[in-house]
Amino acid sequence: MLAPVAGFGVTLSSMFKPTITEQYPFEKVPTKPRYHGRHQLNRYPDGLEKCIGCELCAWACPADAIYVEGADNTPDAQFSPGERYGRVYQINYLRCIFCGLCIEACPTRALTMTNDYELAGPTRRGLIYEKADLLAPMREGMLAAPHPMAPGTEDTDYYRGQVSGPAIEQVDWVAEWRPEDPTIDAARQQAEGSR
């Protein structure tokens, strides 16, 4: 009997509160630091990718939104430390529920979530992000992959954070095999400065 009266009480108390309107496209409210937004595939400081193509993120995804194909690194095409790398990496944002279970499953912290939430697009195909869309941008001093691992290191050295940037041997290798690569000059300065 009193339930409808309580409901009307909530309605009446809400009617006289001021309306708050966010002017979204013009004034963007900053997100909280731990907000779950668009995914990002991270890189090591020397430019190698952190993703090792293990597919654990795809297995952990409850919405089946992630597709990964791993491939073997070769001496001429070393994309990540160790034996394997993620050759194909796709996230279907039409299915993703932004739960973050893929982040928890990643053994190398290759996959993280950014604060970017503007993911709308005009086509369904445009909401399937490929590896090129997800890779973190190259920071100043990084050397674009593929290139060999830092000399005298193993993949565990990368995982422990003991590689702080490109080595001069890595820069020389890229300069020999891909002389037109735009990241060579900045990486050479970084490598010579860290000596």
For residue 181, tell me if it sits in a domain: yes
For residue 86, give the CATH number of its domain: 3.30.70.3270
**Banded model confidence at residue 195, pLDDT cuts 50, 70, 90:** low
For residue 4, tell me if it sits in a domain: no
For residue 19, tell me if it sits in a domain: no
Structural domain count, the chain: 1
Asked if the model's pLDDT at residue 105 lies above 80, the reply is yes
For residue 194, tell me if it sits in a domain: no
Structural domain including 134 reads 34-188
69-79 residue pLDDT tens: 999 999 889 99
For residue 145, tell me if it sits in a domain: yes
* Span 162-167, average pLDDT: 93
Among residues 106, 65, 104, 68, the alpha carbon closest in space to that of 85 is found at: 68
pLDDT score recorded for residue 8: 86
Calculate what percentage of the chain has a pLDDT beyond 70: 99
Among residues 91, 87, 95, 85, the alpha carbon closest in space to that of 67 is found at: 91
**40 in helix, strand or coil?**
strand
**85 in helix, strand or coil?**
strand
pLDDT score recorded for residue 4: 80
For residue 15, tell me if it sits in a domain: no
pTM for this model (two decimals): 0.83
For residue 29, tell me if it sits in a domain: no
For residue 1, tell me if it sits in a domain: no
